[in-house]
Amino acid sequence: MRVLIVDDQPLARRGVITRLKRFNDMEIAGECGDGASAVAKILELLPDLVFLDVQMPGMDGFEVLRALPRESLPSIIFLTAHEQHALRAFEVHALDYLLKPIDDERFAVAIQRARRLVESRSKAEFDQRILQLLDDNSGKYASRFAVRTGSRIQVVFADEIEWVGTAGNYTEIHSGGKAHLLRETMNTLEERLDPAQFIRVHRSRIVRLKCVRELRAIGNREYIVKLSDGSEHRASRSYADQLEQWLSSAGC
C-alpha cells in the first residue's frame, strides 16, 4: 500500500513514519505539512491510504477532502488530538481515526482495517461515508477546488468562480479570465456549489449570481445571460423556473 502522511507538525509525521516502517507492505509515498500541498500530493501520487490530520491551520483536513474530485478519494485514517471531535465526526460514520499521542496497538488495528478496506469491495461504501461526513461537518458546500495546470496542481476558491461549462465528460471552471479543467461531471459539481451563490441556467452552464449583469429575453422562456467578464450564456427553457424565481426575489 502506498501511504501519504499529512500533518502540520513534523514530530507527528515522524511518529507515523516510524510506526509504518514496522509493516513490510506499507510504502511511504510522501509527506506534507499543509492542506494545499496535501491536495496536490494526493492527485499526483494517487496513494492507497492517507493519514490525514484534521486540525491544520489554513486548509484543514475536511477542506482537503472537499477539494478533491469525488472519484479521487483515497482511504483515510484521520489524525486528531481532540477525542470529543473524533467521537462526534468519525464514529458516527464508522470511519477510522487515531488520537494523538498515537498508541502503538491502536495504530496496528487501524492498519489492519485499512488493508481489509483496500482489498475488499467496500471502498465505495467507505467513500459514501466520507462524503456524508463532509456534508455533516463544517458546511455542505465546497469552498475550493483542486485543478491541474500542466504539471502543477492549483487551488481555485469557489468564491472566485465566475461560471462553469461542460468539457466532454468533465467540467471547465472559469475564474479571473482563466479556464481550468475539473474531472467532475456537471451534475456532481452542481451539488458541491452553494445554490445561494450559483445557478444552473443550461445543462452545460452554471453561473455565479453576483456576476450576472444583464438578462436578454429571446422568447419561449429563454434568455441570454451576460456576465461581468463579458461572456454570454444561453439560459434554456428547462431551467427557466430557477432563473425567473431568482429574478422575482431580486424585485425584477
**Residue 45 is placed in which grid cell?**
501520487
Give mean pLDDT, residues 52-75. 85
Give the domains, in start order, of the chain with CATH numbers. 2-136 (3.40.50.2300), 147-249 (2.40.50.1020)
Give mean pLDDT, residues 11-21. 96
Query: Residue 178: how many CA atoms within 13 Å on its side-chain side?
Result: 11
Q: 114 by DSSP, 3-state: which? A: helix
- Of all residues in the chain, what percent carry a pLDDT higher than 90? 47
For the stretch 130-162, pLDDT in tens is: 888 877 665 567 788 888 777 677 888 898 999
For residue 90, the tally of other CB atoms under 10 A from its CB is 20
Q: What is the mean pLDDT of the chain?
A: 87
Checking if the pLDDT of 22 tops 60, the result is yes
Give mean pLDDT, residues 168-187. 89
Express the helix, strand and coil content of the chain in percent, nearest 5 each. Answer: 40, 30, 30
Give mean pLDDT, residues 78-102. 74
pTM here is: 0.62
Give mean pLDDT, residues 190-194. 86
Checking if the pLDDT of 87 tops 70, the result is no
Checking if the pLDDT of 15 tops 90, the result is yes
Q: What is the pLDDT of residue 109?
A: 94
Q: What is the pLDDT of residue 63?
A: 86
User: Confidence class of residue 172 from pLDDT cuts 50, 70 and 90?
Assistant: very high
For the stretch 98-124, pLDDT in tens is: 988 899 999 999 999 898 887 666 777
